[in-house]
């Protein structure tokens, strides 16, 4: 079994991994040898802070071992992806990969004889959303019946959040004035509509009003953020999105948890003071990447 999107997992599995993450957080010592003698290849085609750290430290704390591989310094750059993946499968018990194109990750999962975990591609970020749901459950004690407002670009985080919320009984309202064509997954949106738990609106004030959680993400994908070729598009996005910034004015009277998957661009999708607001659980979300990475690894590698 793999984790390319949350579609790969049953609702029971998703809820089980969320609860297991909280158990691992409370009793880490119980699991010190849970993945003894297991190895994980961690392949990165893009930059990362949290995904690399969480999986690398998770493997260490579970008694296993991880191998960091920068895509550009491997023969993935010049050989057949399937051949290389089959070869990598012969050394390790699992592969976690962050790639530019979901199609490449799907090809790797077809070639691999070990589980493949999506460490973020242009369409999905399931590991982040599992950590987010763990954070909400930790703070609120439940998921079902809560409402999350996502305000930002319809991107990979938005896709996986729609899946994660609707699969666990949370209502999600997305306020997405810009839809990333590369990310958009119509199947996720259609499946979410059927649940009655998904709504898309441009009324940001109404979306936030009775929300238990307010979530935002970068307006520009990480691989384009510093790219001079993307400068014009970046400026256009900032102009369109600034009225949708998470700030004190928008959140006046709201008691919602404030979430962001990081990296943060202070002054763009979120104001400086809101990052450090007492309702912000952004750094808890980040820490929970570790506990949820452990639960994901136990689910797939044990």
Note the residues at the interface with ligand CP (CB under 6 A). 48-51, 120, 128, 261-263
Task: Name the minimum Å distance from CB 300 to ligand CP.
Answer: 18
Which of 5/200 has CB closer to ligand CP? 5
Which of 116/197 has CB closer to ligand CP? 116
In 45-195, DSSP assigns E strands to: 65-70, 94-98, 116-118, 147-151, 171-175
Task: Name the minimum Å distance from CB 56 to ligand CP.
Answer: 11
- Rounded distance between C-alpha atoms, residue 71 and residue 95, angstroms: 13
Task: Name the minimum Å distance from CB 287 to ligand CP.
Answer: 12
CA dihedral 134, 57, 283, 169 (to 10 degrees): -10
- Rounded distance between C-alpha atoms, residue 164 and residue 259, angstroms: 15
Which of 62/120 has CB closer to ligand CP? 120
Task: Name the minimum Å distance from CB 50 to ligand CP.
Answer: 4
Which of 120/162 has CB closer to ligand CP? 120
Which of 223/235 has CB closer to ligand CP? 223
Q: Helices then strands (H, E): number in the chain?
A: 12, 9
Which of 33/68 has CB closer to ligand CP? 68
Task: Name the minimum Å distance from CB 243 to ligand CP.
Answer: 25
97 contacts 74 by C-beta, under 8 angstroms: no
Task: Name the minimum Å distance from CB 187 to ligand CP.
Answer: 23
Tokens of 148: 């999350």
Which of 24/120 has CB closer to ligand CP? 120
- Rounded distance between C-alpha atoms, residue 195 and residue 11, angstroms: 13
DSSP-assigned letter for residue 213: E
- Kindly report the length of the chain: 302
Relative to beta strand 65-70, strand 116-118 is unpaired
Task: Name the minimum Å distance from CB 53 to ligand CP.
Answer: 8
CB atoms within 10 A of CB 142: 12
- Rounded distance between C-alpha atoms, residue 179 and residue 183, angstroms: 8
């Amino acid at each position: 079994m793999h984790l390319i999107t949350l579609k790969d997992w049953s609702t029971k599995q998703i809820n089980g991994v969320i609860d297991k993450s909280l158990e691992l957080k409370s009793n880490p010592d119980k699991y010190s040898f849970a993945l003894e003698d297991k190895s994980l290849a961690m392949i990165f085609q893009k930059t990362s802070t949290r995904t690399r750290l969480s999986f690398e430290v998770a493997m260490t704390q579970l008694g296993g071992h991880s191998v960091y591989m920068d895509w550009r310094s491997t023969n993935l750059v010049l050989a057949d992806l399937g051949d290389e993946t089959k070869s990598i499968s012969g050394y390790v018990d699992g592969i976690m990969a962050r790639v530019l194109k979901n199609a490449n990750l799907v090809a790797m999962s077809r070639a691999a004889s070990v589980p493949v975990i999506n460490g973020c591609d242009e369409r999905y970020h399931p590991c982040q959303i599992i950590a987010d749901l763990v954070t909400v459950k930790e703070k609120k004690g439940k998921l079902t019946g809560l409402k999350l407002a996502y305000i930002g670009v319809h991107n990979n985080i938005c896709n996986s959040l729609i899946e994660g919320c609707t699969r666990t009984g949370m209502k999600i309202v997305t306020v997405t004035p810009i839809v990333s064509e590369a990310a958009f997954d119509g199947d996720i949106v259609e499946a979410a509509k059927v649940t009655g738990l998904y709504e898309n609106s441009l009324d940001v004030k109404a979306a936030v009003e009775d929300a238990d959680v307010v979530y935002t993400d970068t307006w520009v994908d990480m691989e384009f953020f510093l790219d001079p070729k993307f400068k014009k598009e970046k400026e256009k996005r900032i102009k369109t999105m600034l009225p949708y910034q998470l700030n004190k004015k928008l959140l006046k009277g709201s008691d919602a948890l404030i979430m962001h998957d990081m990296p943060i661009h202070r002054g763009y999708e979120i104001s400086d003071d809101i990052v450090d607001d007492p309702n912000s659980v952004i750094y808890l979300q980040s820490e929970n990447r570790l506990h949820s990475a452990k639960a994901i690894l136990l689910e797939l590698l044990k």
